[in-house]
Amino acid sequence: MIPFNKPYLTGREAPNIAEALAARKLSGDGPFTKRCQTMLEALLGSGRAFLTTSCTDALEAAALLCGIQPGDEVIVPSYTFVSTANAFALRGAVIRFADSYADHPNMDPGSVASLITPRTKAIVPVHYAGVACDMHALAALADQNGLFVVEDAAQGIASSYKGQPLGTLGDFGAFSFHETKNIIAGEGGALHVNRADRVLQAEIVREKGTDRSAFFRGEVDKYGWVSLGSSYLPSEMIAAFLLAQLEDIDAIQARRLAAWHRYAEMLEPLARAGAFELPAIPEYATNNAHMFFLLCPDLETRSALLDHLKADGIYATFHYQALRSSPFFIDNAGPETPHADRFSHTLVRLPLFAELGEDDAERIAASVIQFFKS
């Protein structure tokens, strides 16, 4: 069976963890954390990076940093992971679900514009499959209406919008290093702060609402509880693991991109013939090979395709249930999101991981072709 995902190890993870253990510095913000943050800052080119225990936590920190209060409205895509919305719902926000484009799961700025009210505080674009949202259009809406932009860049590492790295375009960016992402730490994430005037507050929010970080820099003579916060720091063992991955990012990306392009080459002819759809990547966006997905004509075809692949030893899968229709939110869901619903019913993700060879991608694509031709 070809798995859907196989976490990739560079070989440096265990030696790095052994080094962290030998140093007996195990809690957060030690040397490995600092090195990861420096590497991330170099990769992203601007702003400040803070490791967190997950992207979910980075989003929760961002919700605190935006000062979200009960009754504030936050616009998120309907077609996304629970954490995008839940982070803001935890602060009492009213979640408003924007629809996707007709031909891509990313949030449509036209739908976002229709949801803005005087109570709107933030927009949370999700760069689905590592492909950038239209950040120019979203930033214009944010500027006109005085809104925060929090990028859910969980899938967006090593990808950009008009040459600018994802996660650096909004006020805050949230990354994930969950084992299903391109760069992994088991569980892990990062909060990227693009506003110099929010860096100190970000440190406080991440350190249980205390000014502990400023204290250790000698900027205050004692530290205490100064704001709301939580504990979002990963341990040094997580950072030691992550450093190995960040150091190998180019090799990891090259492998993923090779498999992705093999899929695309083989499947494009049949997509052009109308058997299924492949998403277009807009001119302003790059592809980081986080995901390879196609859209079936309908739910029945998708179920049959997944069954066919499974019988052929290939584990492919669907993705999100549109959050607007989730059991938790259905009672106050707002306008329908038909495009998001279509992706819920028709989208198929093929296996994609760094160890998936081009020959594997060929075999999987051949199986997809066989299904649609028969």
Nearer to ligand PLP, 81 or 372 (CB): 81
Contact positions with ligand PLP (CB under 6 A) in 66-105: 80-81, 83-84
Judged by CB, which is closer to ligand PLP: 37, or 176?
A: 176
Nearest to ligand PLP of 80, 344 (CB atom): 80
d(CA 151, CA 166): 8
Question: Taking CB under 6 A as the criterion, which residues in 25-44 touch ligand PLP?
Answer: none
CA atoms within 13 A on the CB side of 16: 25
Nearer to ligand PLP, 181 or 342 (CB): 181
Q: For residue 120, what is the enclosing H or E element? A: strand 120-123
By CB under 6 A, residue 54 contacts ligand PLP = yes
The verdict on 159 binding ligand PLP (CB under 6 A) reads no
Name residue, tokens 């498999």. Answer: 259
Q: Shortest Cβ distance from residue 363 to ligand PLP (Å)?
A: 27
Total of residues contacting ligand PLP (CB under 6 A): 14
> Which position among 37, 120, 159, 176 is part of the footprint of ligand PLP (CB under 6 A)?
176
User: Do the Cβ atoms of 29 and 163 come closer than 8 Å?
Assistant: no
Residue 352 CB, shortest distance to ligand PLP, in Å, is 14
Q: Are 166 and 159 in contact (CB under 8 A)?
A: yes
Q: Min. distance of Cβ 370 from ligand PLP in angstroms?
A: 30
CB of 106 to ligand PLP, least distance (A): 11
Residue choice 37, 56, 235, 287 for contact with ligand PLP (CB under 6 A)? 56
Segment contacting ligand PLP (CB under 6 A): 48-56, 239-247, 275-283, 311-319? 48-56
User: Judged by CB, which is closer to ligand PLP: 84, or 301?
Assistant: 84
Containing 136, the helix (H) or strand (E) segment is helix 135-145
Among the listed residues 178, 192, 262, 302, the single contact to ligand PLP using CB under 6 A: 178
138 membership: H or E segment, kind and range: helix 135-145
- Kindly tell me which of 44 and 51 has the beta carbon lying closer to ligand PLP: 51
Binding residues among 124-153 for ligand PLP as defined by CB under 6 A: 126, 152
Shortest spacing between CB 15 and ligand PLP, in angstroms: 24
* CA 65/CA 68 separation, integer angstroms: 8
Q: Least Å distance between CB 56 and ligand PLP?
A: 3
Q: Which of 33, 37, 100, 155 binds ligand PLP (CB under 6 A)?
A: 155
Kindly give the residue spans of alpha helices, DSSP state H, lying in 178-234.
199-206, 212-216
- What gap in Å lies between CA 31 and CA 276, rounded to an integer? 49
Kindly tell me which residue out of 17, 20, 36, 55 binds ligand PLP, with binding defined by CB under 6 A. 55
Q: How far is the CB of 30 from ligand PLP (least distance, A)?
A: 21
State the Cα–Cα distance between residues 86 and 108, nearest whole angstrom.
20
Q: For the beta carbon of residue 146, count every other beta carbon within 10 angstroms.
A: 8
- Please, what is the minimum distance in Å from the beta carbon of residue 80 to ligand PLP? 5
Q: Which helix (H) or strand (E) holds 342?
A: helix 338-346
Q: Which residue has the tokens 């420096």?
A: 38
Please report, for the chain, how many H helices and E strands are present, in that order. Answer: 13, 11
| Distance of closest approach, residue 266 Cβ to ligand PLP, in angstroms | 26
CB of 187 to ligand PLP, least distance (A): 6
Coarse DSSP helix, strand, coil percentages of the chain, rounded to the nearest 5 percent: 45, 15, 40
CB nearer to ligand PLP: pick between 285 and 368? 285
Query: Look-up: residue for tokens 């002819």?
Result: 269
- Kindly state whether residue 189 participates in binding ligand PLP, applying the rule CB under 6 A: yes
Q: Is 311 exposed, middle or buried (0-12, 13-18, 19+ CB in 10 A)?
A: exposed
Structural tokens at position 247: 């150091």
Return the structure tokens found at 34: 């600092």
Contacts of 17 (CB under 8 A, 6+ apart): 237, 240, 241
- Which residues bind to ligand PLP, rule: CB under 6 A? 54-56, 80-81, 83-84, 126, 152, 154-155, 176, 178, 189
